[in-house]
Amino acid sequence: MPVKRHDWVWLTSQWAGDAPPDVIAHHQAGLPFVVARQAPQDDKQKCNLGLTTIPKVRTGFSVVKTDIHRIASPPLLETALSVAPDPWRPGLVALNQALPGLQVFGSLAWQYVTGQSHMTEQSDVDILFTPTTRAAIEPGLRILAESDLRLDGEMVFPDGCAVSWKEWVLGKNPVLIKCMQSVGLWDRAVMLKAFST
């Protein structure tokens, strides 16, 4: 089953891995985990996952891919903004109207998926911006950069690799690119070739 960074996975009810108690409890509650990057040397039959608990404690572990029961893409901002704290909501509604199709990861996604209060006054909203053409990049990034909200996140290329959209806006070259099995510095022009138009 193909998975991507930031995807959500639910494990089979029979799974009983060698994992910390908070991971076991999370699974037994029927809640999903987030897919993490897979290192090139990692066992290809396994998948690295992550759990963020309250307060912000991150736990990483791996499972055999056959233990994965269901996969879901990161939630749409349009859906997840319903659980955002009240002060955030008007701005997120406006952002979603200006740039439809955005997805979220990080604290807002955890809050949406688990129903637990992951967002605090210091939280950012982590955005996944996935333009389908080169022409869509600049206007989309302008909307994100000019927002009054505390935003962070990534721009996702057609091949699934991603870059910090803030770094891209700053014009850095090369830029740090994160893929499913690698992290490295890449030339901007090379990355733009992933777009057909």
pLDDT 10s digits, 104-139: 999 999 999 999 999 988 899 999 999 999 999 999
Give me the pLDDT at residue 1, please.
Answer: 63
For 75-107, the DSSP string reads PBHHHHGGGS-TTTHHHHHHHHHHSTT-EEEHH
pLDDT 10s digits, 149-162: 999 999 999 999 99
User: Where are the extended beta strands (E) located within the chain?
Assistant: 8-11, 33-35, 46-53, 57-64, 68-72, 103-105, 125-129, 151-156, 162-164, 175-178, 183-186
Per-residue pLDDT at 56 exceeds 70: yes
pLDDT 10s digits, 88-103: 999 999 999 999 999 9
Kindly indicate the confidence band of residue 197, based on its pLDDT and cuts at 50, 70 and 90. confident
pLDDT 10s digits, 19-54: 899 999 999 999 999 999 998 777 888 999 999 998
